[in-house]
Amino acid sequence: MTQSSSGFLERQFRLAAHGSTVWTEVLAGTTTFLTMAYIIFVQPTVLSAAGMDFGAVMVATCLSSAAGCVLMALLANYPIALAPGMGQNFFFVYAVVIGMQVSWQVALGAVGIAGFLFVATTRLGIRDEVIRIMPRSLQHATGAGIGLLVAVIGLEWAGIVVDAPGTLVTLGPLDRGPVIQALVGLLVTIALVARRVPGSLLWGILASTAVGYGMGYVVFEGVIGAPPSIAPTLLQLDILGALTPDLIAVIFVFLLVDLFDTVGTLVSVSEQAGLMRDGELPRARQAFLADAIATVVGAGLGTSTVTSYVESAAGVAVGGRTGLTSLITAAGFLLALLFHPLVRMIGGGVETADGLTLYPVVAPTLIVVGALMVKNAASVDWDDATEGIPAFLTLIVMPLAVSITEGIAFGFIAYSFLKLVTGRWREPHWLVHLFAALFLMRYVVLG
């Protein structure tokens, strides 16, 4: 890299002020991309159940993710990556398209309307106000809860934990090849982390890939391949069709879930990166605007809600501190359009004999990232029941419900309730009580 280009990057992203370097940011952005690469193949798999074209959705996923990452890099200068959200995509397909029997074009229209509302609420400062008024105990618990959620997903993708009737989950058979691959990758990764090896998570991913290749579970499928056409989904959203009374609740859910998913991710990842200042996040409005615009772009391209990703914590753990990390992640998504056979090799799943799809390459990274994030729970005031109990509900519901939003919802409701019944209702901002009421109403109305 030339001195002039390095100087430009320093001026644009203020690397020295954030205690980072170009190489560290490149390493962090690459790590984040590799931990998120699964969405390139998972997203079209999920949305194809709604009748959408697999190849077009894959291209839309890459382009909308890249757009969101670039917006986050240039508008907010944060190491936060964006992509179509897991959870929102299942709601899009199974609750809206299949459950309500509406076309995927209309469902995309609802996502687009929600995106425009995201932009409006961001311009009014409503979304960054949520971070400012969010109780500190819930902020810390959100970070820890997301850590548990990420770790649980990692354990499931590794095949270490499997579902079980009666107990929900149990220890899976550890003698399966992909599970052994994940366990070896996990041991290598935690050893590197414990020895403070720079780029330990990325080296762990590469080590797990090498182990899988040697065992025959990672198959080389080539390097370059022509990307599919995006025409079947491009600008197919039906906004007018979504403007019906039946879909008002759907639009509200898209809005609410993305709002608190983004708040939760920004708070937890920014706290891990040391970017929070006295409980507030500088440039929060710019970060929310990037998220909002990305959702509108994604709906136009042909994918469900685009949101900030908790996997960004993997890049932060490597040392990413600025928007250059997000810019490198964006480059990864664009290159994936050409190098998708190579990306599939690293981020793709492995089918087991009993029908499970495991992701043994990236799973160890998610487990370690979860471990690094759980430390946020140490900052909660556990001696005060009005702070500790809502915090506990926040961090335990997230992994069990597999939803950031549901954890935050339980936390807000419990926090508001306990402050009211103890006569301390003036302590939280009035918006805390309002959000608690909205969450409660959502459960009552939508179940």
pLDDT higher than threshold 60 for residue 63: yes
379: tokens are 């900052």
Mean pLDDT of 374-400: 90
- What letter does residue 75 receive in the DSSP assignment? I
**How far is CA 89 from each of CA 57, 338, 358, 380, rounded to the nearest angstrom?**
12, 24, 19, 32
* 253 vs 93, more confident: 93
* 60 vs 228, more confident: 60
Of 146, 415, 174, 109, which Cα lies nearest the Cα of 260? 146
> What are the tens digits of pLDDT across the range 396-407?
998 888 777 788
C-alpha–C-alpha distance, residues 153 and 183, integer Å = 15
AA letter at 98: I
Confidence of residue 344 (pLDDT cuts 50, 70, 90): low
CB 332 within 8 A of CB 33: yes
Residue with tokens 């992701």: 359
Q: Who contacts 83 (Cβ-Cβ below 8 Å, separation ≥6)?
A: 36, 39, 43, 61, 64, 65, 68, 306, 307, 309, 333
For residue 308, is it left (φ>0), alpha (ψ between -120 and 50) or beta?
beta
CB 181 within 8 A of CB 208: yes
Of 359, 261, 276, 337, which Cα lies nearest the Cα of 67? 337
Q: What residue ranges do the domains of the chain occupy?
A: 12-374, 376-446
Q: In the prediction, which pLDDT does 180 show?
A: 92
Q: Who contacts 262 (Cβ-Cβ below 8 Å, separation ≥6)?
A: 127, 287, 288, 291, 307, 308
Mean pLDDT of 217-229: 80
Alpha-helical segments (H) within 283-322? 284-301, 312-318
> What are the tens digits of pLDDT across the range 94-116?
767 887 788 999 999 998 998 88
pLDDT higher than threshold 80 for residue 308: yes
Residue with tokens 């992994």: 399
